[in-house]
């Protein structure tokens, strides 16, 4: 039972990093990305390949996985510079579908549908992290560093400029803001952090395949941000805790058959999203009278 809760806590920390990085795009830059799971997958596959063929040092793999995702984020940044609103959502959807196809067909790099197996246990500065407690500590430290980094980044002029773009891109451009550069940087930073989360996910699971990086997971990331509260740093973390602990809590209820947990979970998700949009549109961590 202890091992189960450690595993769950580790997943919460990893997915909280991914959700927080998407919260940067949605809540601060106004970029609604449906391709976030694709960059999560990029980090996971890069981290897995590094661990298998080069080194199992989690710091090296995390930095390289995050940087690779940041570089490839130009695939998302370019449509973000040209289209807005629902058109960008459609572009992100296309990118996510294309990434899923690449993950499936690039068998030499991703293992195809079968995925990559045999990912070794992580290490850090030569110290073995095979203990679940040790890797949980690394995941929690990574989450804290992500939150502190984003807090420092968004607390200055960069954060204020992103909010200006979110509220009115035309007005921000009229005030002399370099909208193209700011959007590109926002996407790169968000994809860097979700890439690092992907690396941690690969080490934790010791196996990755395309099923973990589909459109469904991008929607889950977005739900974590919206339920927790877009435009806040703590909101995506709260949303992650709620969405990941709910299935675990449902499994302990004796009157719900195991085969029906997924159906009940989806019903609760939909109900929660609807009620939040009506009564608390800014999310659990947002102000009560937040933006609709």
Among candidate residues 110, 108, 42, the one with its CA nearest the CA of residue 76: 42
The answer to whether position 225 is within a domain reads no
The number of folded domains in the chain is 1
Give the pLDDT confidence score for residue 85 in this predicted structure: 66
Give the pLDDT confidence score for residue 83 in this predicted structure: 65
Taking only the tens of pLDDT, the chain with its 292 residues reads 788 889 999 999 999 999 999 999 888 888 888 889 999 999 999 999 999 988 999 999 999 999 999 999 887 777 766 766 677 788 888 888 999 999 998 888 888 888 888 899 988 988 888 888 999 999 999 999 999 999 998 888 888 888 887 777 777 777 777 778 888 888 899 999 999 999 999 999 989 999 889 898 898 898 889 888 888 888 899 989 988 887 777 767 777 776 776 677 777 777 877 887 787 777 777 665 544 4
Give the pLDDT confidence score for residue 292 in this predicted structure: 44
The answer to whether position 221 is within a domain reads no
The answer to whether position 34 is within a domain reads yes
The answer to whether position 292 is within a domain reads no
Among candidate residues 68, 69, 62, 98, the one with its CA nearest the CA of residue 191: 69
DSSP H or E segment with residue 232:
none
The answer to whether position 238 is within a domain reads no
The answer to whether position 179 is within a domain reads yes
The answer to whether position 116 is within a domain reads yes
| Domain span at 49 | 2-211
DSSP string, 136-175: HHHHHHHHHHHHHHHHHHHTSHHHHHHHHHHH-HHHHHHT
Give the pLDDT confidence score for residue 189 in this predicted structure: 92
Give the pLDDT confidence score for residue 44 in this predicted structure: 94
The answer to whether position 269 is within a domain reads no
- Two tokens, residue 23: 């919260």
């Amino acid at each position: 039972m202890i091992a189960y809760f450690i595993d769950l806590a580790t997943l919460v920390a990893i997915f909280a990093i991914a959700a927080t990085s998407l919260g940067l795009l949605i809540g601060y830059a106004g970029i609604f990305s449906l391709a976030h799971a694709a960059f999560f997958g990029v980090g996971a596959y890069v981290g897995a390949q590094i661990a298998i063929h080069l080194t199992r040092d989690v710091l090296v793999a995390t930095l390289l996985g995050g940087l690779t995702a940041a570089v490839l984020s130009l695939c998302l940044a370019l449509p973000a510079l040209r289209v807005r609103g629902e058109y960008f959502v459609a572009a992100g959807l296309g990118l996510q579908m294309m990434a899923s196809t690449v993950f499936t067909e690039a068998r030499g790099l991703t293992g195809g549908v079968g995925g990559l197996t045999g990912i070794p246990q992580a290490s850090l500065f030569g110290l073995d992290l095979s203990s679940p407690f040790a890797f949980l500590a690394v995941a929690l430290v990574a989450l804290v560093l992500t939150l502190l980094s984003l807090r420092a980044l968004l607390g200055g002029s960069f954060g204020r400029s992103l909010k200006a773009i979110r509220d009115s891109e035309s007005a921000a451009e009229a005030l002399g803001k370099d909208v193209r550069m700011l959007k590109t940087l926002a996407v790169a930073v968000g994809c860097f952090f979700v890439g690092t989360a992907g690396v941690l996910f690969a080490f934790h699971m010791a196996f990755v395949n395309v099923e973990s990086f589909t459109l469904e997971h991008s929607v889950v990331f977005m739900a974590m941000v919206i339920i927790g509260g877009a435009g806040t740093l703590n909101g995506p973390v709260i949303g992650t805790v709620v969405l990941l602990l709910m299935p675990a809590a449902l499994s302990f209820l004796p009157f719900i058959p195991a085969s029906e947990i997924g159906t009940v979970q989806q019903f609760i998700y939909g109900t929660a999203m609807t009620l939040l949009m009506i009564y608390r549109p800014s999310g659990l961590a947002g102000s009560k009278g937040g933006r609709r």
